[in-house]
Structure 1
């Protein structure tokens, strides 16, 4: 089935340039620089938005070289061609029932790793157990509409697709999700309308009225339309309507695609709720690795912002509706773990978590600190493969039940959900590293064989990486990173040593080799909510001098202003070297932290029914009387000389003092989001008020992540704020002195132990500004840059980011 030409393609389709695009990706793999040059040439005829869509789709699929990937309903083949160009080590198959489109695709797009098949995606067009991934991108609602709104037909096709997958294969679905709300209020500007000009002359309120009379895919006119009631306006020059949320959503998705209005009028986009989708996939023995509403920021800015407002029936502002909904399901079969979730409170007391109060003897502040008898080092074994690409061995599928803890004091703002099977660096207890002797490669060889199941490259020793404080104000843990260059290993490796916090479930995961760039991509789109892993990978790239691809988007412009409070990197380094033992332990606690103890269940499917495969008790922490949602904000401005400046907090905290005899730390401003904040628009308004800036000066900056998922379900939501004031910028939030520092210098602190949120935020901001010359504005963001170049955005390259693991970097460069 062909794709239609509306928002669900995230573009208005542009016809490819005439003539075939022919390429034969060479083996062995090319270097990144060579690949990027080839991308530019091959993708020159493909619309920019199609390239973005192709990259976004493939960022969800971390597969092994040689994997087979099928796109169902590939239409004329532009997206699968872009996917094949950017992933030459996979084999792609495009399927569509339209012979004309398939003929066109075969003529236009010719690659060694790409083929097209004409066939009905509802039939056995692909043999069973034969492919590693199937992509259904904006196609299920087409099936639903063409089958006269038959959900059973959709379920049958999805079941058939699962049969085509090999064990552990992935099904990626991108479509629309039916809203759970019943009725909403839709407010729009009251603009002039010119009905004599036809559909293009109608104002949006008048278009909505017309749509309410004609909508629905059924051919019987008596069944068309939906309930719409116009209410008195709240403000002059606006119009207010009450209608079902489903139809408000349908209208919002299509109102700007008037060229295809009549063609799309007979279709229903949103027909399954998230709950319906989960039920349908569970019937296929599927593990729902990830589900999430997705907001394409370019679409939101161009089509949603200042175009309408949504309210619930009580008048509370709702957030922008998602531009699509993402589902990633894995074929795992019976008696395999499908979902880890909190079931009930445990009746036994806490045993491993301690809360201690620490007093700042200089400032008088009292801070509760959590500790447990666990010191962890995380290790990333790696290989440098053909084409100068980086390959990693990671712990894949490790159980993290806290991602599905019962919500407390705050909603799930971005709606993301995971199965609980995560990807992280390999964690080992600190004491096992005591067997290592510096410079003794034999002890390293024995260590790798015993604890990792890997063989080191002869002559290689353990290398130091960055250190992290997951929460330097209240979690008494410091996580050190190690790197080790190893030899090739066939297939996944059974875990040799499991940390106590992940034992007791039906599976502890495996060690698997993956492409480092693909892991970065998966983190970038929110599939892997692990900021620490991203920093560890970026630091390894910098250490090895290997370039990487940086995809980052933050639609925010900066004003030029000279901050009054600034600091230099040398001043920060000097403060880090000083001794400062201001914190002292005192009796009792300050009541800031609450410990929790619950039973978590590992669910699986047996004979068609969901059952518990295993369970265990877990202890974790919550912030007392605070939301589990925390905003981390990076204030950004531009000095008079054009340098991008980032706002930082200089503070003294108890945890760094214990590990390095000095509590001084650099961090980003942060604040808990009140539980009344239920969506991103309310979060932006809240932050804008705290920083005393207009709403347009606040933007999301990347996806949410967990601060320390082994100990707390706390989620971090990163934002950027421009024109945040030159004197102090924040009315309230965590203490510390606010100053500005050159953004390009902050990344040099990667090998100094710092807050995870600070390192991640600095890294993302630098990725965001990579290659922008002296301009940091929407004109230099991802979309325009890619539209001009038709190439993968340039990555950062800093081969000499640090002369030694313990010293700040002496060199920083950007690969132009």
Structure 2
């Protein structure tokens, strides 16, 4: 028998406390889904709680019908009384059952709710699988299923280290966890070990119960209710396997670490170690998985097959540095690349047309990222057009007509944006942005999944790891700036800089234009130009399509790159450290080789997680630039700079530094961040465009300024 009734909070004060805690993170919940929602259709917000998220979605997307569903009649009553919009309604229902007709919904959103389904049904994890199976039935083909909830760690044993102040609560939790069970079945076993020399208590226990404790140790006010619930039910692999089995194409599978929770509730409050004593990353505070329902005739993932001889689509070229003699490998592809952004304004928002769920088989080579995320095989990206022998404007107009069925008479204006190099170190690719104002359209009548998405929401999605394509972010930010529109609030990690009384680091000026490279026949053997067969399979594993693609990746180093926004704050001014470097790709396009970039490094294969990444970055900043790291900040989500050519993954970090060596081997250019942001479209390094834009918005959000 279901025990859902035990979710009832009782008093008005208990309800208000619960609702306030939910509403505080609602912006992030909505932003996480922005890249995956349509601007129209019918969305069900399952287990909507306060209804704030439902109301936010209905307000943001006036052409979307939003229905909030909750099993608690009191919640539904409160939401109905609090929110009234023409495209918003609420209903009472059990989200584990079919609340809507089969094939009637375009989107289903589950935010921190499915663990209630398992907890209040005797902790049966299969109840979550049953709920998701029923929800998929209610989706149309092409519809989107979104789950944001907790993530069960892989099975195993860990060591948990706790300060004295938390030990009694831990012991209480070990007795009361899963309190809906009978007295003899609730709780869990652990082994207490010798304390550390510093006085931390040490416990050996299962990875799941360790994570369950640290996730809720700060929720004392509603402790009796919280210990009823088992937060985690599926591991990441179990989530992914279930989604694939239900015929869902996974668009995102991302463990999330809320920066505020990590800094204020995790760091210095406990330590997790493997059973052999190796430090572990803090557990995810949440998890996001997004799936698109497709027919059995369509694929849900790609499998990378055997290597073959390259198709000669990509070409190797090599350049030798005139002074240093170092050889740089470069890969080029034919034709100029245009990132086309059709857009329109409606109800105070700027909407862009983006390719949704676009297949990128090469990303299947990535596997797991350093943060545990699954690299998507289908992404949201700009409309990419390759210019051949036609003039640029004619090329774009014909592509919009033929591929998106946007007729020339529907085009209102046409603007060339800036250029940028997505990954200048190894790709001879310079992307031209093209902004095309069109008459309002919610989607194109074409086989390509092109849909209208709020430009501001896409930028917010990038801040919380909801948009992996960096070029769509770059173009949206530039478009909003060109239109004089505010880019929206920053909802990523807060950049609270300590500042320094020391003199600013030694700075150099950008050099004069120079030509550093000469073409050579000899390669450096740094890059591998490969070609593989990629097989697209459906939910049952049957082959849908087989495609051979050329790609490029490092031979010895990993697929991972760390890009850094180096920040130094002194006397009220925040400076960003940039590098004047030389790239043969730049020389190929503009005749000179120098480019101002944000410091970035390909990571060795020995870097296995984010802890290793920070350790590597600390070392290289000291060695190359004479800088001491004060603190790291995650600067939004990782991104893929050119998913059609390389599986490279970039991890963006803001790093507060101070000088440690007055005469560093490689001094940097230190510029006030305001100056960089003001002329950002003039900088052509793709990594710099992403990081500087994010840093500027984050810093100005901290001091309450508008941009």
> Following the alignment from structure 2 to structure 1, what is the Cα–Cα distance between the partners of residues 667 and 31?
39
> Following the alignment from structure 1 to structure 2, what is the Cα–Cα distance between the partners of residues 669 and 760?
13
Unaligned runs of 5+ in 2: none
Are residues 1:455 and 2:412 paired? no
Query: What does residue 75 of structure 1 align with?
Result: 49
> Following the alignment from structure 1 to structure 2, what is the Cα–Cα distance between the partners of residues 128 and 380?
35
When residues 13 and 764 of structure 1 are mapped into structure 2, their CA distance, relative to the original with a 3 A threshold, is: farther
Query: What does residue 559 of structure 1 align with?
Result: 499
Query: What does residue 271 of structure 1 align with?
Result: 233
Equivalent residue in structure 1 for 2:98, among 103, 110, 124: 124
Query: What does residue 27 of structure 2 align with?
Result: 52
Unaligned runs of 5+ in 1: 7-11, 18-44, 192-202, 438-442, 496-508, 773-779, 786-793, 796-813
Task: Give the 5 Å matches for 1:739-750.
Answer: 739-750=669-680
Kept in 2, the 8 Å contact 1:530–1:705? The answer is yes
> Following the alignment from structure 1 to structure 2, what is the Cα–Cα distance between the partners of residues 245 and 529?
29
Task: Give the 5 Å matches for 1:127-206.
Answer: 127-189=101-163, 191=164, 203-206=165-168
Query: What does residue 108 of structure 1 align with?
Result: 82
**Cα displacement (A) at 1:277:** 1.7
> Following the alignment from structure 2 to structure 1, what is the Cα–Cα distance between the partners of residues 426 and 236?
36
**Cα displacement (A) at 1:643:** 2.2
Kept in 2, the 8 Å contact 1:3–1:139? The answer is no
Task: Give the 5 Å matches for 1:417-432.
Answer: 417-432=374-389
Kept in 2, the 8 Å contact 1:5–1:260? The answer is no
Query: What does residue 471 of structure 1 align with?
Result: 423
When residues 771 and 291 of structure 1 are mapped into structure 2, their CA distance, relative to the original with a 3 A threshold, is: closer
User: Deviation per CA, 1:246-279, whole angstroms, max 9, x where unpaired?
Assistant: 1100111111112222222232111211222223
Task: Give the 5 Å matches for 1:584-599.
Answer: 584-599=518-533
> Following the alignment from structure 2 to structure 1, what is the Cα–Cα distance between the partners of residues 560 and 104?
42
**Cα displacement (A) at 1:650:** 0.8
| 96-105 vs 322-331, greater mean Cα deviation | 96-105
Kept in 1, the 8 Å contact 2:23–2:52? The answer is no
> Following the alignment from structure 1 to structure 2, what is the Cα–Cα distance between the partners of residues 710 and 3?
51
Query: What does residue 392 of structure 1 align with?
Result: 352
**Cα displacement (A) at 1:120:** 2.4
Kept in 1, the 8 Å contact 2:507–2:667? The answer is no
Q: Which has the higher strand share?
A: 2
> Following the alignment from structure 2 to structure 1, what is the Cα–Cα distance between the partners of residues 21 and 148?
20
Query: What does residue 200 of structure 2 align with?
Result: 238
**Cα displacement (A) at 1:386:** 3.1
**Cα displacement (A) at 1:456:** 3.7
Kept in 2, the 8 Å contact 1:706–1:714? The answer is yes
Query: What does residue 341 of structure 2 align with?
Result: 380
SS at match of 1:233: coil
Query: What does residue 715 of structure 1 align with?
Result: 649
Kept in 2, the 8 Å contact 1:688–1:695? The answer is yes
| 243-252 vs 372-381, greater mean Cα deviation | 372-381
Equivalent residue in structure 1 for 2:556, among 620, 625, 632: 625
Query: What does residue 368 of structure 1 align with?
Result: 329
Kept in 2, the 8 Å contact 1:565–1:726? The answer is no
Normalising by structure 1, report the TM-score.
0.79
Equivalent residue in structure 2 for 1:358, among 301, 305, 319: 319
> Following the alignment from structure 1 to structure 2, what is the Cα–Cα distance between the partners of residues 488 and 103?
36
Query: What does residue 39 of structure 2 align with?
Result: 64
Kept in 2, the 8 Å contact 1:68–1:90? The answer is yes
> Following the alignment from structure 1 to structure 2, what is the Cα–Cα distance between the partners of residues 727 and 240?
39
SS at match of 2:296: coil
> Following the alignment from structure 2 to structure 1, what is the Cα–Cα distance between the partners of residues 442 and 60?
24
**Cα displacement (A) at 1:644:** 1.6
Task: Give the 5 Å matches for 1:409-808.
Answer: 412-434=369-391, 436=393, 448-450=400-402, 452-456=404-408, 462-489=414-441, 491-494=443-446, 509-555=448-494, 556-560=496-500, 561-566=502-507, 572=510, 575=511, 579-605=513-539, 609-640=540-571, 642-692=572-622, 697-725=631-659, 737-752=667-682, 754-772=684-702, 780=703
| 55-64 vs 589-598, greater mean Cα deviation | 55-64
Normalising by structure 2, report the TM-score.
0.90
> Following the alignment from structure 1 to structure 2, what is the Cα–Cα distance between the partners of residues 86 and 461?
25
**Cα displacement (A) at 1:141:** 1.4
> Following the alignment from structure 2 to structure 1, what is the Cα–Cα distance between the partners of residues 411 and 445?
23
**Cα displacement (A) at 1:737:** 4.4
When residues 95 and 729 of structure 1 are mapped into structure 2, their CA distance, relative to the original with a 3 A threshold, is: farther
Kept in 1, the 8 Å contact 2:30–2:53? The answer is no
SS at match of 1:417: coil
SS at match of 1:610: coil
User: Deviation per CA, 1:254-309, whole angstroms, max 9, x where unpaired?
Assistant: 11112222222232111211222223223322222211111111111111000111
**Cα displacement (A) at 1:406:** 5.0
User: Deviation per CA, 1:40-63, whole angstroms, max 9, x where unpaired?
Assistant: xxxxx8976143344335435421
> Following the alignment from structure 1 to structure 2, what is the Cα–Cα distance between the partners of residues 435 and 469?
18
> Following the alignment from structure 2 to structure 1, what is the Cα–Cα distance between the partners of residues 413 and 114?
51
SS at match of 2:26: helix
> Following the alignment from structure 2 to structure 1, what is the Cα–Cα distance between the partners of residues 404 and 662?
48
**Cα displacement (A) at 1:541:** 1.4
When residues 179 and 118 of structure 1 are mapped into structure 2, their CA distance, relative to the original with a 3 A threshold, is: same
> Following the alignment from structure 1 to structure 2, what is the Cα–Cα distance between the partners of residues 78 and 394?
27
SS at match of 2:292: strand
Kept in 2, the 8 Å contact 1:562–1:726? The answer is no
Report the number of matched residues.
694
Kept in 2, the 8 Å contact 1:215–1:225? The answer is yes
**Cα displacement (A) at 1:727:** 5.7
**Cα displacement (A) at 1:579:** 4.5
User: Deviation per CA, 1:64-123, whole angstroms, max 9, x where unpaired?
Assistant: 23x322222223434433443444443322222222332222223333332221222233
Kept in 2, the 8 Å contact 1:69–1:135? The answer is yes
User: Deviation per CA, 1:488-540, whole angstroms, max 9, x where unpaired?
Assistant: 44642336xxxxxxxxxxxxx33333332233233333232111211111111
When residues 477 and 4 of structure 1 are mapped into structure 2, their CA distance, relative to the original with a 3 A threshold, is: farther
Kept in 1, the 8 Å contact 2:505–2:659? The answer is no
User: Deviation per CA, 1:420-447, whole angstroms, max 9, x where unpaired?
Assistant: 122222222222442757xxxxx98667
